[in-house]
Amino acid sequence: MWDNLNTVLSSTEITSSTALVRLLISFIFGASIGLERQYRRREAGLRTFTLICLGSTAAMLISIWIPQSYPNFLNGDPGRIAAQVLSGIGFLGAGAIIQSKGSVHGLTTAACIWVVAVIGLAIGAGMLIPALITTLVTLFVLLSVEQWERRMFLNGVNKILSIHCTTATPDLKEFRRILEKNGVFIVNVSFESLYDENQSVITYKVNVKAVSSYTSLFGEIQKLGIVSQIKLVE
């Protein structure tokens, strides 16, 4: 049994057996990354990543199978169909990115979509060990590097910064520039605009050093001339 499985795994010929095994492996690898994204309630989750990996694997299998089965096909190129996967996957990646009032979300998920497509292509081509290593490293980055990143860069305290503006359309990019200049790390941001009253409220969840002085930060924000109230609370 193991000899047969090893033969199937190492075969360069696309048969029903090799296709089935590679698709099953693709399902497992894609689902493992999809589970992590699903757990974090991201834009793309288990089903999306599993389908992307399966589709990429199937595309590569077809790319290899066509010139193998039709040797008289002078233009048969094993990489032609598979090459279009990475071009097409960009649309899914763009759909996972959300841009709102100067704040961008979903870049990590978009990058994961691209990586999973590459993993699927590698599995379809029979490069199982590289595909496995890429999957494990991807999971390591998603699960462990974030914790290290937080310890390295978020070694302060989390607070809620509320800025009340006397205009319904403040320049959010300028606020972000001031915060970053003063060493304030923005975790996330929400924006509320009151057009009837020509006012708005920007609420930041920020990470600041425990010993930070807020005098210069508040003064620089106040200089914008559109701020009526600044509140920083735990």
Whether this model's pTM surpasses 0.75: no
| First-to-last C-alpha distance (Å) of the chain | 61
Angle among Cα 184, 190, 192 to the nearest 5 degrees reads: 130
Query: In the predicted model, what is the mean pLDDT of residues 180-203?
Result: 85
pLDDT, tens digit, 9 for 90 and up, residues 70-90: 776 656 666 677 778 877 887
The answer to whether residue 104 scores a pLDDT higher than 60 is no
How many Å apart are CA 159 and CA 154, to the nearest integer? 12
So where are the chain's domains?
2-151, 157-233
Question: Contact, 115 vs 138, CB < 8 A?
Answer: yes
**What pLDDT does 215 receive?**
79
**Closest C-alpha among 129, 195, 137, 142 to residue 166:** 195
Q: Which residue has the tokens 């759909």?
A: 95
pLDDT at residue 120 tops 90: yes
* Averaged pLDDT for residues 94-101: 58
Confirm if 116 and 55 have CB atoms less than 8 A apart. Answer: no
Which overall architecture, per CATH, does domain 157-233 show? 2-Layer Sandwich (3.30)
Rounded Cα–Cα distance for residues 96 and 16 (Å): 34
Q: How much of the chain, in percent, has pLDDT values that exceed 70?
A: 76
pLDDT at res. 102: 45
Can you give the pLDDT at residue 2?
Answer: 57
DSSP readout, 50-61? HHHHHHHHHHHH
**pLDDT for 30 beyond 80:** yes
How many residues in the chain?
234
Mean residue pLDDT of the chain comes to 80
Report the C-alpha gap between 117 and 54 in whole angstroms: 9
Split at pLDDT 50, 70, 90, the class of 24 is very high
Per-residue pLDDT band at 190 (split at 50, 70, 90): confident
pLDDT at 100: 47
